[in-house]
């Protein structure tokens, strides 16, 4: 049987200052972890576990929702749906980038900065997607499109 050894967790006094978070005393993953260690730590209760999973699961929900919209009637051919589709795309990108940032941020100090740069860039993209949806969304949707949004998604784009 395959046996996987999970990385040992550290306390705040065992990690460099750049990796320490205020108020978090233990559960740190070792700095300079390998990519495999980072992936294995996703299944271990660390100080990042909730951040990783609470971003990863919604990302795939929004991917599923976006694919459903793209495959559905009208889909990408309907220009009235484009603001909502742009918003849904950013709803996929932001939590996925955040989950990756929290997963791989312990590989090195440089990797930490790069990961969180992409995390913040994705957050900015999400903000842009929301602005597009608010600016071009419901007031431009024809009535039949609002009825087609009966899944509750019509509330996503309120001015």
Q: How many domains does the chain have?
A: 1
Residue 76 counted as domain residue: yes
Residue ranges making up the domain that contains 127: 48-143
Question: Which residues fall in the annotated binding site for Zn(2+)?
Answer: 102
Residue 137 counted as domain residue: yes
Give the pLDDT confidence score for residue 142 in this predicted structure: 47
> For the whole model, what pTM was predicted?
0.77
Residue 105 counted as domain residue: yes
pLDDT in tens, 65-99: 999 888 887 777 877 778 888 889 999 999 999 99
pLDDT in tens, 91-134: 999 999 999 999 999 999 999 999 999 999 999 999 988 887 77
The C-alpha R_g of the chain, in whole angstroms, comes to 20
pLDDT in tens, 4-28: 777 788 999 999 888 888 888 888 9
Residue 15 counted as domain residue: no
Residue 136 counted as domain residue: yes
Question: Which residues fall in the annotated binding site?
Answer: 102
Residue 94 counted as domain residue: yes
| Residues 74, 76, 79: CA angle, nearest 5 degrees | 85
């Amino acid at each position: 049987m395959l046996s996987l050894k999970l990385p040992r967790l550290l306390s705040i006094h065992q990690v460099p200052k750049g990796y320490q978070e205020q108020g978090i005393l233990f559960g740190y993953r070792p700095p300079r972890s390998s990519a495999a260690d980072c992936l294995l730590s996703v299944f271990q209760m660390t100080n990042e576990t909730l951040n990783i999973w609470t971003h990863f699961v919604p990302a795939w929900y929004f991917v599923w929702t976006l694919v459903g919209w793209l495959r559905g009637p009208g889909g990408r051919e309907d220009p009235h749906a484009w603001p909502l589709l742009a918003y849904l795309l950013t709803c996929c990108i932001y939590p996925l980038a955040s989950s990756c940032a929290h997963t791989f941020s312990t590989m090195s100090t440089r990797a930490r900065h790069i990961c969180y740069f992409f995390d913040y860039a994705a957050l900015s993209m999400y903000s842009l997607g929301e602005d597009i949806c608010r600016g071009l969304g419901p007031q431009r949707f024809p009535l039949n499109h609002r009825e087609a949004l009966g899944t509750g998604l019509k509330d996503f784009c309120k001015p």
